[in-house]
Structure 1
Amino acid sequence: MTTLTIVSLLPSLMNTNGDAENASVLRRRAEWAGLDARVVAVGSRADLPDRVDAVVIGSGSDASLETARSTLLTMHDELRTWGTDGVPILSVGTGWELLSWGIEHRDGSTIEGLGILPGRAVPRDGRVTGDAVVTSPRFGLLVGFENHARDYVGAEGSPLGRLRSGVGNGRGSGQEGVVMGTVIGTHLRGPVLAKNPGFADHLLASMAERAGLDYAPGPAAAVADGYATAAREAQLGAVGAAASVGDA
């Protein structure tokens, strides 16, 4: 049987809020569906496996941006090829920003991105921390926790979804994230796939189809999905309560 290979890029640098563990969520749900799957941690280009069915890039600190960018640049051609070939690439926080056109700092300095995704990260006044709820036309209702000090501009035509609560891309856009084909950038952390199993299943279905396999959530997923539903309902309830207080 084909083994689905999920690449976790730079997990030692890019794992704030456990975002690199989105790769583990994909692996476990694939196994629950009766599919063989593995996660390959990639710290350098030499670590890349021959087969890649999905890629996860988590978020790191600003102190690690230059190091992470230098390493990702060595895999620029592979990232472009994967995106063109329909390999799902999930990037979170600064991992997403590094795949963009670039990052602007408050002091005027910039970090050039890899240009895989449209838009760029720009300074904002104050850090955003809190719950976010997003309605995505492709992935449904998504919940997560956002923690970022930059807004994202230039991707108005291709967001992950519309905000129901939270700041998202900021600047009054009402949008969260960016999508270009199968390459996805988001502020949603937690990790996002654990809280949103339907999102994970969409990615897994795409992975399986490319590999000539069938995917359907296995019975064992029901238990984890129950926990995810409870967590989502609690988060949605908290957001609704906060909105009610704000409207009072």
Structure 2
Amino acid sequence: MSGVTLTIVSLLPRLQNTNGDAQNAAVLAARATWAGLDARVVDVDRRDALPERVDAIVLGSGSDSSLEATRGTLLTMHDELRTWGTEGVPILAVGTGWELLSWGIELADGSAVEGLGVLPGRAVPRADRVTGDLVVSSPRFGTLVGFENHARDYVGAEGSPLGRVRAGSGNGRDAGQEGVVMGSVIGTHLHGPVLAKNPSFADALLGIASERARLEYRPGERTAIVDGYAAAAREAQLSAAGVALSASGPRA
């Protein structure tokens, strides 16, 4: 042990935990621990609960009824979020958590919720809700699988997507793209939680966090067992989504 404890912040887990998104923080902490690193998860529901050290951040998705409450709390951390993003702290935002970090959210009734402007693009209404398997080929993170469940498309981030859609809708509007990436800040529709289904995606984020903390991250022996379960689940989902394994690109 190096004496440095990796601190993974789970933002607003009580409001933003659709499909277990908040558990992405637990995945990061577990994999770091299996690699022989000290790691902890800190649940943060208000600004004064932020720890002094922040190595990675997870912000899950919530219901539309919680948009204003979540936005209000995130606004109190606006400066910190921008600083973390600028400094390269990995931030994973899913669903409405991602939308709230964007330029804004247009609602079906014609009203709008202003975003924090950390990520480019905005969420706009679609004719019907999309649900189902989502498979994405990411040049940075390999083939990602998950579940999408959203009533809005995402526009304005065509220049920096997380990846190309192989099955599902993703950002919609026939863009064939999913998510958005700016540095180490990532927004996505992928639920699951996404890091449990895509171990190498989790490892990539841990690699970024560890390097910033001047630590070396190498997946531990125990990850091989867990990753075997994840691989079986991924293959089943790829098959169900009609994506041939031989054409699915690098595995994640």
- TM-score band (shorter)? over 0.9
The answer to whether the 8 A contact 2:166-2:243 is kept is no
Aligned twin of 1:246:
none
C-alpha separation in 1, matches of 2:111 and 2:240: 38
C-alpha separation in 2, matches of 1:241 and 1:140: 14
Code of the aligned partner of 2:190: L
Give me the CA root mean square deviation: 0.9
Select which of 18, 22, 25 maps to 1:23: 25
Code of the aligned partner of 1:71: T
Select which of 186, 189, 192 maps to 1:190: 192
- What is the CA-CA distance between 1:240 and the residue it aligns to? 1.2
- What is the CA-CA distance between 1:241 and the residue it aligns to? 7.7
Aligned twin of 2:64:
62
Instruction: Tell me if 1:41 matches 2:43.
Output: yes
C-alpha separation in 2, matches of 1:241 and 1:13: 33
Code of the aligned partner of 1:134: V
Code of the aligned partner of 1:31: T
Aligned twin of 2:166:
164
Residue pairs, 1:1-248, within 5 angstroms? 1-240=3-242
C-alpha separation in 1, matches of 2:22 and 2:227: 20
C-alpha separation in 1, matches of 2:229 and 2:189: 22
The answer to whether the 8 A contact 2:24-2:193 is kept is yes
Give the structure-2-normalised TM-score: 0.95
Secondary structure of the corresponding residue to residue 240 of structure 1? coil
- 1:12-56 Cα offsets, whole Å, 9 max, x none, are 000010000000000000000000000000000010000000000
Q: 1:63 and 1:2, CA in 2 relative to 1: closer, same or farther beyond 3 A?
A: same
- What is the CA-CA distance between 1:107 and the residue it aligns to? 1.4
Task: Extract unaligned runs of 5+ from structure 1.
Answer: 243-248
Task: Extract unaligned runs of 5+ from structure 2.
Answer: 245-252
Code of the aligned partner of 1:48: L
**Which 4+ residue blocks in structure 1 deviate beyond 4 angstroms?**
none
- 1:154-209 Cα offsets, whole Å, 9 max, x none, are 00000000000100000000000000000000000010000000000000011110
Code of the aligned partner of 1:7: V
C-alpha separation in 1, matches of 2:217 and 2:115: 34
Code of the aligned partner of 1:203: L
Give the structure-1-normalised TM-score: 0.97
**Taking every aligned residue pair, what percent have the same amino acid on both sides?**
76
C-alpha separation in 2, matches of 1:2 and 1:231: 34
Aligned twin of 2:250:
none
Q: 1:68 and 1:126, CA in 2 relative to 1: closer, same or farther beyond 3 A?
A: same
Secondary structure of the corresponding residue to residue 164 of structure 2? strand
- 1:59-96 Cα offsets, whole Å, 9 max, x none, are 00000000000000000000000000000000000000
C-alpha separation in 2, matches of 1:90 and 1:6: 11
